Amino acid sequence: MFAARGVSKRFGAVRALDAVDLDLSAGEVVALVGDNGAGKSTLIKVISGAVTADEGQLERDGVPVQINNPHQARSLGISTVYQDLALCENLNVIGNLFLGSERRRWSLLRKIEMERSARTLLSSLDVRIQDIAVPVAMLSGGQRQSVAIARALVGEPWLVILDEPTAALGVEQTAQVLDLIRRLRDRGLAVLVISHNLADVRAVSDRTVVLRLGRNAGEFRTAETSPEAIVAAITGAAA
Partner 1 sequence: MTTLTKAIRWPGRTTDGPARPGGVGSWPVVGGLVVIAIVFGSLNEQFLSAENLSNLALQLAATGTISLGIIMVLLLGEIDLSAGSVSGLCAAVLAIVHVRHGQSALLAVVVALALGAVIGLVHGLMFTQLRMPSFVVTLAGLIGWQGLLLYVLGRGGTINLPFDGAIAKLSDTWLPPWASWLIVVLIVGAVATSAVLNRRWRRRADLPLPALSRTVLRVAGLAVLLGAAVLVLSADRGVPLLLVIFGTLVVALDLVLRNTVFGQWIYAIGGNAEAARRAGIPVTRLRIVAFVLASTLAAFGGLLAASRLAAVNQSSGGSDTLLMAIAAAVIGGVSLFGGRGRPYAALLGILVIQSITNGMLLLNVDSSIRFMVTAVVLAAAVAIDSLSRRGSEQ
Question: Applying CB under 8 A, which residues contact partner 1?
Answer: 70-71, 82, 85-92, 95, 99-102, 104, 107-109, 111-113, 115-116, 119, 133-135, 137-138, 140
Taking CA atoms, 19 is separated from 65, 77, 216, in Å, by: 17, 24, 8
State the nearest-atom distance from the C-beta of 80 to partner 1, in Å.
9
Report the residue number, 10 or 111, with the smaller CB distance to partner 1: 111
Report the residue number, 5 or 110, with the smaller CB distance to partner 1: 110
Q: Are 214 and 18 in contact (CB under 8 A)?
A: yes
CA atoms of 87 and 101, how far apart (whole Å): 14
Report the residue number, 127 or 211, with the smaller CB distance to partner 1: 127
State the nearest-atom distance from the C-beta of 228 to partner 1, in Å.
38
State the nearest-atom distance from the C-beta of 169 to partner 1, in Å.
13
Taking CA atoms, 191 is separated from 1, 2, 56, 142, 147, in Å, by: 12, 11, 22, 18, 16
Neighbours of 125 (CB within 10 A): 17
State the nearest-atom distance from the C-beta of 4 to partner 1, in Å.
22
Report the residue number, 85 or 177, with the smaller CB distance to partner 1: 85
The one-letter code for the residue type at 178 is L
Could you tell me whether strands 159-163 and 14-24 are parallel, antiparallel, or unpaired per DSSP bridges? unpaired
